[in-house]
Structure 1
Amino acid sequence: MRHMFFRLTTRWAAGLVVLLAVTGMAVAADTASPYRIVGYATGWDPAQTKDVGKIDTLIFAFAQLKDGRVVVDDNRAKTLQTLLALKSANPKLTVTVSVGGWSVGGFSEAASTAAGRQQFADSAAQMLSTQHADGLDVDWEYPGHHESGIKSSADDKANFTLLLKTIRASLDRAGQKDGKHYALSVAIADGPFVSDIDIPAINPLLDWFNLMTYDFVNSNTPTTGHHTGLHASPLIKGDGRTTDRAVQQFLAADVPAQKLVIGAALYGREFADVHADHDGLYQTYGHFVNMLNWPDLKQHYINKQGYVRHWDDVAKAPWLWNAKTRHFITYDDPQSIAAKMAYIKAEHLGGIMYWEQTNDPADELLDAMWRGLNK
């Protein structure tokens, strides 16, 4: 079944374009946008296929790291093949595979020896070739850090660079055999969380950087705030994290602007027992409550049940405050995403990345990204 999607005859392909046009399914434009829209996807809702032409790259999340090898089990392979099948609707679509994620360990151990790095790299290349995917995204959270509960080492900084060098070489060898270029990207944070990453050294090895410019405030931070804010709010303290500060950090490390893909969140974060000053913004709180996807926010929270929407015109970010319950919610919405798209254009960045495809089943936020980059 997989190969039927890649053996379209000219007549069948022409018919498909007509069919998509009739049914209203989005088709990638002939003139390529200078900006990339990249979406992490743990699955796929068939209703979203109408908008697949708005996406440049889907990153399947996640492959597994088992005994130092990058593998995709049978169940995950089915999901990956569902994403790859979308190339029939958007032939320009790139589908890559991410390995790792929050709390996934084994990276430090695999990267610690030349043999371990080679096994990681070769298994990743073999997996991509077997699955007919287009590249690898390395999501090690984070080299030299153990906040997520994984093992780390003082040698992670050097070993991460060596690991990416080995992966790049293995992907190039596989690409020569398969007649294609396998992309290599990283999911990467900012601020103190890249203290053990040699950004200038890894830059030449990567096709682009997926900047995880979200989760700036979470259950481990002392205050509420904008979890995916673009600029620094007047209330932010010190070197608090923002999207712009992340971008400037990577530009200062000589990463070309067009290789930087900033992040948007298709979900919000809720905090309880929040100090009431400034309607809960950048205030101490009792406990973190939950993550809420975009449809839930729209249906149950935004200007409902006592939650009042506020807008920070400096940070270019919304938040919700419930004065009665003292609950605070930070999130992205079409207005904040439009501001991010304008920022991408002004800074000549590579584009936008988001977590995660199934959190926005009606593609309302995806559409805001596409319009912002293509209007």
Structure 2
Amino acid sequence: MLVSISTLVFTIALAVAVAAQKQTNVIFGYLPTWQADKAESVDLSKYTHITIAFAAPDENGALDMDSTDSVVKEWVGKISDANAKALVSLGGWAGSKHLSPIMKDKKKRDRLIDDMVQWVRTYGLDGWDIDFEYPGRQGDSCHPFDAAQDTPNFLQFLTDLRQQLGSEKLVTLATRFQPFDGAQGPMTDVSAFAPLVDYVNIMIYDFNGVWSETTGPNAPLDHAKGKGLQSSARSSVQTWVDAGIPESKVNAGLAFYGRTVTADIDDPESGDKGMYWPLRKVIPRGDSDDREEADPSCGGPEAFSGIWKYSNLRSEGVLDAPDSAASPWVRRFDNVTGTPWLFNTETKDFVSYDDPLSIGIKAQFAVSKGIAGVMVWPITNDYEGELLSAITEFI
């Protein structure tokens, strides 16, 4: 009898695990148009959805098809051949400049929707991803926003878009770690959006950087109490679920890159600060692709981004293996946040990033939470499939 009970318990546990794996099956990737050539080495077949980023409307709501025509045509075909769903992303950081004024003007909304429907027909898209940065909140510094009306206007836009596209086409959202803003800040009820969209891709990264008081994790699974931004992948997912988005429609965002700051320390092993140290308010250069550039939307002084692509951490020899760094860099892993970090003993540069271990931990979290899956920004930053393999080990 004891054997039978043990067998029953094991069978139930196995069934639960299998059910969770079946429920968590989305790997949603973003392919930036300006890095399309680097996607040639990506195994697209391991993704369930790939969205080409970005299409940006002008001030009248019109989409310029000519500027991205060849890239969209080529990659929709390749994505479809890999048996993944092919979408295009609207907006993005720079491309959201006109979205708030468009959303409040019915004529402009209708023009944008008409163009989006036409793109679906012309390119054979499986749907659209909307990356509005951000409804009711300042995105890029020169972008207008309406704290009180952006979110209801956005809801109306999605209602009209869904009506035009029908239920057979996908509508997905890229969102910040908190729900959309209203006049009083992040809303606690966004359930009206749930029936209109297929997935909500939460951008659970860029949590700490040069704008912070100290160094800290770019994309933590959990946050350290009282240190860095008090939010994480776990809390972000729960916040959106509590606000009315079903777990079956939530994808946890994964960053295939890291951010660099200069720490104001000499020895990362001294004291008990862990990965949290005073920093200098100047962004150092990241990888070899990083350039001093002005903001593409708002202009201003030229500056580095501080971005280190995971692919360049590996190819440029900072990491001589996924879990070890080459001198003068040292690698450490923070068990609270579930993220690795690097420190250059000569330049004092501090890099918070994700590697196969931390990506796998977050993929495991997605499965255990029973959400739809994960989202990747961007698919072109992987190195020989190391990060993607860490995801597919669990999803």
Query: Which one of the candidate residues 280, 284, 288 is aligned to 2:283?
Result: 288
Q: Is the 8 A contact 1:214 1:227 kept in 2?
A: yes
Q: What is residue 264 of structure 1 aligned with on the other side?
A: 254
The offset of 1:73, in angstroms, is: 3.1
Judged with a 3 Å threshold, the aligned counterparts in structure 2 of structure 1 residues 200 and 259 are, in CA distance, closer, same or farther, namely same
The offset of 1:96, in angstroms, is: 0.4
Q: What is residue 327 of structure 1 aligned with on the other side?
A: 349
TM-score by length of 1: 0.82
CA distance in 2, matches of 1:252, 1:222: 29
Report the identity percentage.
28
The correspondence of residues 51-130 of structure 1 with structure 2, limited to 5 A, is 51-87=43-79, 89-90=81-82, 92-104=83-95, 105-130=97-122
Query: Which one of the candidate residues 141, 147, 153 is aligned to 2:146?
Result: 153
SS in 2 for 1:65: coil
The offset of 1:193, in angstroms, is: 6.6
CA distance in 2, matches of 1:46, 1:325: 32
CA distance in 1, matches of 2:98, 2:374: 29
Judged with a 3 Å threshold, the aligned counterparts in structure 2 of structure 1 residues 69 and 292 are, in CA distance, closer, same or farther, namely same
Q: Is the 8 A contact 1:274 1:280 kept in 2?
A: no
Judged with a 3 Å threshold, the aligned counterparts in structure 2 of structure 1 residues 87 and 293 are, in CA distance, closer, same or farther, namely closer
Q: Is the 8 A contact 1:191 1:246 kept in 2?
A: yes
SS in 2 for 1:74: coil
Judged with a 3 Å threshold, the aligned counterparts in structure 2 of structure 1 residues 70 and 267 are, in CA distance, closer, same or farther, namely farther
The offset of 1:369, in angstroms, is: 1.1
Judged with a 3 Å threshold, the aligned counterparts in structure 2 of structure 1 residues 244 and 126 are, in CA distance, closer, same or farther, namely same
CA distance in 2, matches of 1:228, 1:366: 17
CA distance in 2, matches of 1:254, 1:192: 10
The offset of 1:283, in angstroms, is: 2.6
> Which 4+ residue blocks in structure 1 deviate beyond 4 angstroms?
31-34, 275-280
CA distance in 2, matches of 1:118, 1:221: 40
Query: Which one of the candidate residues 138, 145, 165 is aligned to 1:171?
Result: 165
> What CA deviation, in whole Å up to 9, does each residue of 1:281-307 have, x standing for no partner?
233311222101112212332312322
Q: What is residue 300 of structure 1 aligned with on the other side?
A: 317
CA distance in 1, matches of 2:213, 2:163: 42
In the alignment of these two chains, the number of paired residues is 333
Unaligned runs of 5+ in 2: 1-20, 285-305, 320-324
Unaligned runs of 5+ in 1: 1-30, 176-180
Q: CA RMSD in A?
A: 2.3
Judged with a 3 Å threshold, the aligned counterparts in structure 2 of structure 1 residues 85 and 240 are, in CA distance, closer, same or farther, namely same
Counterpart AA for 1:367: S
CA distance in 2, matches of 1:73, 1:336: 38
The answer as to 2:19 corresponding to 1:38 is: no
> What CA deviation, in whole Å up to 9, does each residue of 1:344-366 have, x standing for no partner?
11000111111112212522211
SS in 2 for 1:264: strand
CA distance in 1, matches of 2:105, 2:186: 17
Query: Which one of the candidate residues 235, 240, 244 is aligned to 2:234?
Result: 244
Pick which of 273-282 and 353-362 moved more: 273-282
Judged with a 3 Å threshold, the aligned counterparts in structure 2 of structure 1 residues 224 and 79 are, in CA distance, closer, same or farther, namely same
Q: Higher helix proportion, which one?
A: 1
CA distance in 1, matches of 2:374, 2:99: 26
